[in-house]
Amino acid sequence: MREPFVFDPRHPLCKTPFGAAVCGSQIALRCRPLAAEGFTHCALILQQEFSGLRQELKASFSGIEGDRACFALDFSAPAEPELVWYAFRLWRDDGSGCMLDKTGYRSDGGWDPWQLTVYQKSFSPTWFGQGITYQIFPDRFCRLEVPSPEGLVGERWVHQDWAEAPAWRPEADGEVRNRDFFGGSLQGIVSKLPYLKELGVTTLYLCPIFESASNHRYNTADYTRIDPMLGDEEDFKLLCREAGRLDMRVLLDGVFNHTGSQSRYFNADGFYSTLGAAQSTESPYYDWYSFHPWPEDYDAWWGIKTLPAVREEAESYLDYIIDGPDSVVRRWLRAGASGWRLDVADELPDWFIRKIRAAAEETKPDAVLLGEVWEDASNKIAYSKRRKYLLGDELHGVMNYPFRTALLAYLQGGDADGFREAMETLRENYPPAAFSSLMNFLGTHDTPRILTVLGADRIPESKEERAIYRLSPAQRQRGLELVRLAALVLFTFPGSPTVYYGDEIGLEGWEDPFNRGTYSWESGDRELLAYFQRLGALHRSCPPLREGSIQWLYTSGPLLIFARELEKSRLITVLNASDQERELPLSEPKVRNLLTGAVLSPEDGRLRLPPRTGLLLTEDCPG
């Protein structure tokens, strides 16, 4: 069969090795225009993002293959980490010709090049990417007793009823301060470790746990103290020890771009006895912040004055957070944490992230460092600057928002090939270790609940409507069917399947704070929970799901079929996201569905799949 493409960087006929390249490694390229087009010369145009170097390297004519004229070129990747943009120039003996880039042939002077990520190979821990992660919003997971808010920073109040809805209305001055607490605690999490073990969880990702004036705790008040409502440092150490006994690790949320205005460092309301930057220019924390002028105006995260932005380059701040022998990064790793997830990584300088990684690895060599990045992290531009997150000395991996975006688009009526294309773009652009260390998820504390998104037929216009919105029985049933499909992809795709607390029992809710309700320990969908537990058990027991390569077998319309392969073992994920029964393009004479244990034999050589149904197949069907 003739290959229709002139150049496809994902095809071994055109480029080897696949995807990103190690610094200094050799890369082979082949450009294959139709011979009838008469091109007799070809050159590779390279543009390096960070060094600014631009090159044009001539390719050699390697002969005619079928109807294709083949031009070949081997070149060395840069010795330092880079993003290399490249395209081809093709011309004939008479001088006529054109450019070839991602858009095809062009002669308009435009430039839409392919990307080659060149990275520095370094140690990357595998425990995170090969395991299952569970994200906990600590205030809402498990409460053992109703706490008192007296004497704590912020004017807090506590819900007496665990099942109440979170407060969402603005206060009298129009501000939303998130001052309502439910009282979930670290001891509560410890009590539920056996439950998490049943889900197959190996990493607990905790939203911030340090002392703060709000229930989300992203406005840190004291980096050195566990919020008293959650417990204390001994409770944290106990959690890490008990989790470790069950082969689980703890990942902390590091909020290092800003503090809270009610922190001991800024101290806008004078709660702390320490002299804060808002109180005096003589404060030891004054140079942490940018005032213009002091004290009324200062830089704040997205202009939110309760979140004053820090100056990462301030020497005393660097020493406090990273460099000092008892710095925040080092201290909590020594206390038992196994890594950090960096909040708003786009707001942190590359050099700052590099320093965090170096300090973390020096303290705990197999510590993992992840970042909150919502787009393709290999080529992200933040504040007009191209970022270097994944080039070898910064992040091990990132939160995979593109996975969620592409999967939802497919499940809500899109083409399965759109999901494949989005994921192959990441696989091509990311270093292999980074792709394997992605935090894949269906929802987080920053997104609406997955069941609500997939079950609802519209988004209510007003926040008041969204606050009381609940799916109808029919919507919930449809949503549950689609959530099962989404979870099947989540647990069988490369990277760490990450479950946002309560998604496994069908919690509903639109945006914050409706997506941050309490976990329903006395109710919830137990059938859905059993399904998640089954997926967790399969992920734990099937090496291909943790370490295997991915092959796309069929992606068209509502049908998504891919395989994970490791040595001689192969598992096949099959989804039919449509409302109609579909015939599957599979030729295996007999397969077993690992989700149910049933052996499937295609009738008349054909296997049919009911609407909104998924399978996890193995060809190992003895007897």
Output the domain CATH number for residue 86: 2.60.40.10
| Six-digit token string for 328 | 């925040």
Query: What is the mean pLDDT of the segment spanning 507-518?
Result: 98
Residue 396 is assigned to a structural domain of this protein: no
Bridge partners for 98 per DSSP: 90
Q: How big is the chain by its Cα radius of gyration, in Å?
A: 27
| Residue 593 pLDDT exceeds 70 | yes
Instruction: Give the per-residue pLDDT at 175.
Output: 81
Where a domain ends, among 96, 119, 142?
A: 119
Query: What is the mean pLDDT of the segment spanning 524-552?
Result: 98
Residue 511 is assigned to a structural domain of this protein: no
From the candidates 139, 227, 235, 343, which is the catalytic residue? 343
Q: How many CA atoms lie within 13 A of 528 on its CB side?
A: 24
Cis bond upstream, residue 611 (ω within 30): no
Q: 70 with 30: CB under 8 angstroms? A: yes
Confidence of residue 604 (pLDDT cuts 50, 70, 90): low
Instruction: Give the per-residue pLDDT at 64.
Output: 96
Range of the domain at 578: 543-618
Residue 397 is assigned to a structural domain of this protein: no
Query: What is the mean pLDDT of the segment spanning 422-430?
Result: 98
Residue 623 is assigned to a structural domain of this protein: no
Strands 339-342 and 249-254: parallel
| Residue 622 pLDDT exceeds 90 | no
Bridge partners for 69 per DSSP: 64
Least confidently predicted of 32-36, 317-321, 600-604: 600-604
Q: Which residues contact 150 (CB under 8 A, 6 or more apart)?
A: none
Q: What is the pLDDT of residues 192-236, one digit of tens each?
A: 999 999 999 999 999 999 999 999 999 999 999 999 999 999 999
Where a domain ends, among 119, 153, 174?
A: 119
| Six-digit token string for 420 | 């494949």
Using CA atoms, how far apart are residues 519 and 440, in angstroms rounded to an integer?
21
Instruction: Give the per-residue pLDDT at 30.
Output: 98
Confidence of residue 361 (pLDDT cuts 50, 70, 90): very high
Q: What is the pLDDT of residues 577-588, one digit of tens each?
A: 999 999 998 877
Instruction: Give the per-residue pLDDT at 3.
Output: 61
Instruction: Give the per-residue pLDDT at 2.
Output: 46
Confidence of residue 172 (pLDDT cuts 50, 70, 90): confident
Q: 218 with 177: CB under 8 angstroms? A: no
Using CA atoms, how far apart are residues 407 and 205, in angstroms rounded to an integer?
22
Residue 95 is assigned to a structural domain of this protein: yes
Active site residue 372: yes
Instruction: Give the per-residue pLDDT at 1.
Output: 35
Number of domains in the chain: 2
Average pLDDT taken over every residue of the chain:
96
Residue 465 is assigned to a structural domain of this protein: no
Confidence of residue 174 (pLDDT cuts 50, 70, 90): confident
Instruction: Give the per-residue pLDDT at 586.
Output: 80
Instruction: Give the per-residue pLDDT at 232.
Output: 98
Determine the longest span between alpha carbons in the chain, in angstroms.
85
Using CA atoms, how far apart are residues 535 and 611, in angstroms rounded to an integer?
20
Confidence of residue 184 (pLDDT cuts 50, 70, 90): very high
DSSP string computed for 119-149 = E------STTTTS-EEEE-GGGT--SSPPP-
Using CA atoms, how far apart are residues 545 and 175, in angstroms rounded to an integer?
46
Q: What is the pLDDT of residues 309-348, one digit of tens each?
A: 999 999 999 999 999 999 999 999 999 999 999 999 999 9
Residue 373 is assigned to a structural domain of this protein: no
Query: What is the mean pLDDT of the segment spanning 544-550?
Result: 98
| Residue 623 pLDDT exceeds 60 | no
Q: What is the pLDDT of residues 65-116, one digit of tens each?
A: 999 999 999 999 999 999 999 999 999 999 999 999 999 999 999 999 999 9
Where a domain ends, among 119, 148, 180?
A: 119
Residue 150 is assigned to a structural domain of this protein: no
Instruction: Give the per-residue pLDDT at 129.
Output: 98
Query: What is the mean pLDDT of the segment spanning 414-431?
Result: 98
From the candidates 82, 211, 372, 394, which is the catalytic residue? 372
Using CA atoms, how far apart are residues 598 and 588, in angstroms rounded to an integer?
15
| Residue 161 pLDDT exceeds 50 | yes
Output the domain CATH number for residue 583: 2.60.40.1180
Phi, psi of 559 (to 5 degrees): -95, 125
